Amino acid sequence: MISVTGLTKTYGSVCAVNNISFEVAKGEIFGFLGPNGAGKTSTINIMTGLSRPDAGEIELAGIDVRRQPKKAQAIMGIVPDESNLYNEMDGFDNLCFCAALYGMPKSEREGKARRLLEQFRLDDTGKRPFKAFSKGMRRRLTIAAALIHSPQLLFLDEPTTGIDVESSRQIRDLIRELKRQGTTIFLTTHYIEEAERICDRIAFIARGQIVAAGTLPELMASVSHQHAIRFVTAGSTNTPAAELESQFPGSQVSIQADHSIVMTSKQRIPLLPVMKFLHNIGVEVHEARELTPSLEDVFVKLTGIQSSALTEPERKGSTR
């Protein structure tokens, strides 16, 4: 559905997009994860025809965007990083105007606008102008406006940045629903959790380049060649690390400050024998948990960028 090859764009001396290539299949949610200034918006602008690349090819549903931008724009919906509807107009008029830009006849656009306002729970905003909307409402209306002509392909530039947990969750649910209906989705985010939760495939982008791309398991596998288990024990015991290591060859054992035992190994660690061994030497185990690297660890390892450069959303939020 999306095929990008060798995309490059420089602004003066800044190389915003540096030889980027990727493909997105029909019906997939593909996410660009990267810190501020990584080149996410620049890439979207080029793909949507708002900006001209210095080099590279972009094909959307078989249409060459550089040659036929208007034809490509007819099948895409775009949610820019800023909610940019018309301040003076209310929700309904804004949606109808956007529909008209895509040539939808009056009766069709009014029906669709009403349905979208309802779906986005904005139908109670009445005649209130866009400028009087809250941030979350503005974001929702901007997304609704991108869907007015039922595009096959949806671009979302940081759809949930700067809005609350509940609104973000609604937007993510909506993105998943669109995917179920067959829409192909390209989104950018600097929220690791968001990428993890909704994307089928993720590309890490830093300094204008794609550092790694793949499904969540693929990205994880690209760094973790080790198995690790953490055993939580009942307080202070003198756990013989050396004894454990010799009993289970190939493993490394470290004792943490809270007296839990972390065992790492290239092979899978046999849980029951370890537990039995510990039990026999008088160590009471309360909990054993496999330590998997988080996407955050993977990101840091692959890009060399501290994850604090990305902002973590809703740390205490729901875990959907």
Ligand X SMILES: Nc1ncnc2c1ncn2[C@@H]1O[C@H](COP(=O)(O)OP(=O)(O)OP(=O)(O)O)[C@@H](O)[C@H]1O
Least separation in angstroms between CB 157 and Mg ion = 6
The answer to whether 77 touches 151, Cβ cutoff 8 Å, is yes
According to DSSP, residue 129 is labeled B
Distance CA 171, CA 169 (A): 5
10-39: which residues touch ligand X (CB under 6 A)? 11, 14, 16, 34, 36-39
Q: Which of 83, 48, 79, 42 is nearest to 156 (CA)?
A: 79
Listing from the earlier edge strand, what are the strands of the sheet with 63-64?
Answer: 14-24, 2-11, 55-60, 63-64
Residue 38 interacts with, from ligand X, other proteins, Mg ion, none (CB under 5-8 Å by kind)? ligand X
**Which residues, listed in sequence order, are joined to residue 210 by a DSSP beta bridge?**
205
Q: Which of 63, 150, 137 is nearest to 103 (CA)?
A: 150
Between residues 39 and 313, which has the closer beta carbon with respect to other proteins?
A: 39
Between residues 117 and 300, which has the closer beta carbon with respect to ligand X?
A: 300
For residue 127, state whether it binds other proteins (rule: CB under 8 A). Answer: no
- What phi and psi, each to the nearest 5 degrees, are found at residue 41? -65, -40
Region for 162 from its dihedrals, namely left if φ exceeds 0, alpha if ψ lies in -120 to 50, beta otherwise: left
For residue 10, state whether it binds other proteins (rule: CB under 8 A). Answer: no
Residue 277 interacts with, from other proteins, ligand X, Mg ion, none (CB under 5-8 Å by kind)? none
Identify which range of 83-91, 213-221, 247-255, 259-267 contacts other proteins by CB under 8 A. Answer: 83-91
For residue 190, state whether it binds ligand X (rule: CB under 6 A). Answer: yes
Which residue from 15, 50, 211, 232 is in contact with other proteins, where contact means CB under 8 A?
A: 50
Identify which range of 67-75, 116-124, 133-141, 247-255 contacts other proteins by CB under 8 A. Answer: 67-75
The answer to whether 293 touches 224, Cβ cutoff 8 Å, is yes
Between residues 41 and 184, which has the closer beta carbon with respect to ligand X?
A: 41
Q: What separation, in Å, do the N-terminal and C-terminal C-alpha atoms of the chain show?
A: 28
For residue 70, state whether it binds other proteins (rule: CB under 8 A). Answer: yes
Distance CA 284, CA 24 (A): 50
Residue 201 interacts with, from ligand X, Mg ion, other proteins, none (CB under 5-8 Å by kind)? none
For residue 81, state whether it binds ligand X (rule: CB under 6 A). Answer: yes
For residue 48, state whether it binds Mg ion (rule: CB under 5 A). Answer: no
Least separation in angstroms between CB 195 and ligand X = 13
Which residue from 54, 88, 166, 218 is in contact with other proteins, where contact means CB under 8 A?
A: 88
CA angle, residues 70, 76, 78, in degrees to nearest 5: 105
Least separation in angstroms between CB 97 and ligand X = 26
The answer to whether 148 touches 112, Cβ cutoff 8 Å, is yes
Listing from the earlier edge strand, what are the strands of the sheet with 209-214?
Answer: 76-79, 153-157, 184-189, 29-33, 201-206, 209-214
- Secondary structure E strands in 52-130: 55-60, 63-64, 76-79
For residue 98, state whether it binds other proteins (rule: CB under 8 A). Answer: yes
Which residue from 57, 81, 164, 200 is in contact with Mg ion, where contact means CB under 5 A?
A: 81
For residue 40, state whether it binds ligand X (rule: CB under 6 A). Answer: yes
Identify which range of 55-63, 92-100, 226-234, 291-299 contacts other proteins by CB under 8 A. Answer: 92-100
Question: Where along the sequence are the contacts to Mg ion (CB under 5 A)?
Answer: 40-41, 81
Question: Where along the sequence are the contacts to ligand X (CB under 6 A)?
Answer: 11, 14, 16, 34, 36-42, 81, 190
